[in-house]
Amino acid sequence: MKEIRTRTAPSPTGLAHVGNVYAALFNFAFARKSKGTFILRIENTDVERFVVSAEEVIIDALNWLGLKYNEGPDIGGKYGPYRQSERIDFYNKYSQQLVDQKMAYESEGALWFKVPKGKTHWCDLIRDKIEFDNSEIKDFVIRRSNGFPSYNFAVVIDDWLMKISHVIRAEEHISNTPRQIMLYRALGAEVPEFAHLPLLRNPDHSKISKRRNPVAISWYQDHGYLPEALINFLCLLGWSHPEGKDVFPIEEFIKNFSFERISKSAPIFDFKKLNWLNGLYIRQKTDEDLFKLLKPFVPKEMEDDLVKKTIPLVKDRLTILSDYFSLVDFFIKEPEIDKKLLFKKTAQDIKLIKEQFNIVLEKIDENKKWQVKVLEKTFREIAVDKNYHLGKFFMAVRIALTGKIATPPLFETIEVLGKEKT
């Protein structure tokens, strides 16, 4: 069998797009399962949209997600260079070949490919047989008037010379495929296998786009999503685990990967499911690992010791890492107490609330052991002794100490706050 070689070929236009990463994941998994080669190629011949720093952004995103490529612009390989801007000589050579073969012609400064008569078809690995009548396709540009190749031409030359065996990409490229197959045949090149993945959709079935959605991988990093959670989530979009699992590592995805398990219908990018998965992966972390992961989300004035004490309190409440500070901010800054909220949530008058707090303060002064069990026992004894409504009493204490109605466990919070602050 020939070597399996797949690729991801993003354009450096400013961000690493979640749609590109989704396709890269499937290319990566198929190459790994087949003990093949996964390649990163940068398609940077669109000079109008090119962003200088975007290549670095793409590389950082793939590395963060663990999608390690075997060949690429930063590590090289035997079929380089891996930037289209450095491959112009190849495009010129083969476009001239087509001119010499009378299969291409010049018009208005550009080179155009002559579409042959007949039909073009292929057996798609996800969608079975797809066929186009060539009469529906007009002659198309292979080299623009600025000297740069068109997308359809460059991608064929690159995939051919880089010996790409399987082109796995989004379904929006289906309409490009007949043009590319025509070019392969005109050049006498072997046509690779094609697999067109379903497009990611919003819950209203509209296409995921940067105008409407957070599509940059950096956005997920900045908000505290874990790479393994995002990868697990992307695996579930359009692919189903043979055992019906929702939670599994990428190694399991690779092991069970097959084109037969990929759906033709567009999967829904469901943030609720992503958040659920992310919270699950956060809870699987040790407190020590979580301490390291939280570093970018902790304010400078918060000491490491306090962070370590609060992690067990909030671990079960974290959905994304950026939620952390909003759950613990009252530990380092005086909370603002909304009195209307206090009265509304406790349904008690000011005299009763003052009485409760005076009694608590007296009991706390008597209580020498500042520990969760002792604190909880003390508060419960007060409630029973004074016939206080337990829920309203505890809520009053919670709001007074934190300014919030939802917090980490109350008595653990009081213990970490310490006697003086409380």
Superfamily per CATH, domain 5-197 = HUPs (3.40.50.620)
Alpha-carbon span 336 to 102, nearest angstrom:
78
For 13-70, the pLDDT digits (tens) are 778 889 999 999 999 999 999 999 999 999 988 766 667 788 999 999 999 999 999 9
Average pLDDT of adjacent 10-residue blocks, the chain of 422 residues: 92 86 98 98 80 88 98 97 96 98 97 98 98 98 95 98 98 97 98 96 82 87 98 97 97 98 94 97 98 96 96 96 95 90 83 85 77 91 91 92 92 92 87
Tokens read off for 368: 């020498």
pLDDT of residue 367: 66
pLDDT of residue 209: 74
**Looking at the domain that runs over 217-328, which CATH code has it been given?**
1.10.1160.10
Residue with tokens 């406790």: 346
Q: Which architecture, in CATH terms, is 334-417?
A: Orthogonal Bundle (1.10)
Alpha-carbon gap, residue 144 to 361, rounded angstroms: 80
Q: Which of 163, 210, 363, 404 is catalytic?
A: 210
Q: Is residue 373 annotated as a catalytic residue, yes or no?
A: no
Supply the pLDDT for residue 47.
67
Tokens of 114: 């002559």
What are the extents of the domains in the chain?
5-197, 217-328, 334-417
State the amino acid at position 241 in one-letter form. Answer: H
Gap between the Cα atoms of 186 and 194, Å rounded: 18
Work out the end-to-end distance of the chain between its first and last CA atoms, rounded to an integer number of angstroms.
71
Write the CB contacts of 194 (distance below 8 Å, at least 6 apart in sequence).
122, 124, 125, 166, 167, 177
Q: 381: which 2 tokens?
A: 């004894």
The HSE-up count of residue 379 (CA atoms within 13 Å, CB side) is: 23
CB 331 within 8 A of CB 310: yes
Q: Give the HSE-up count for residue 23: Cα atoms under 13 Å, Cβ half-sphere.
A: 26
The pLDDT value given to residue 135: 97
pLDDT of residue 50: 64
| Residue 98 Cα to chain centre, angstroms | 41
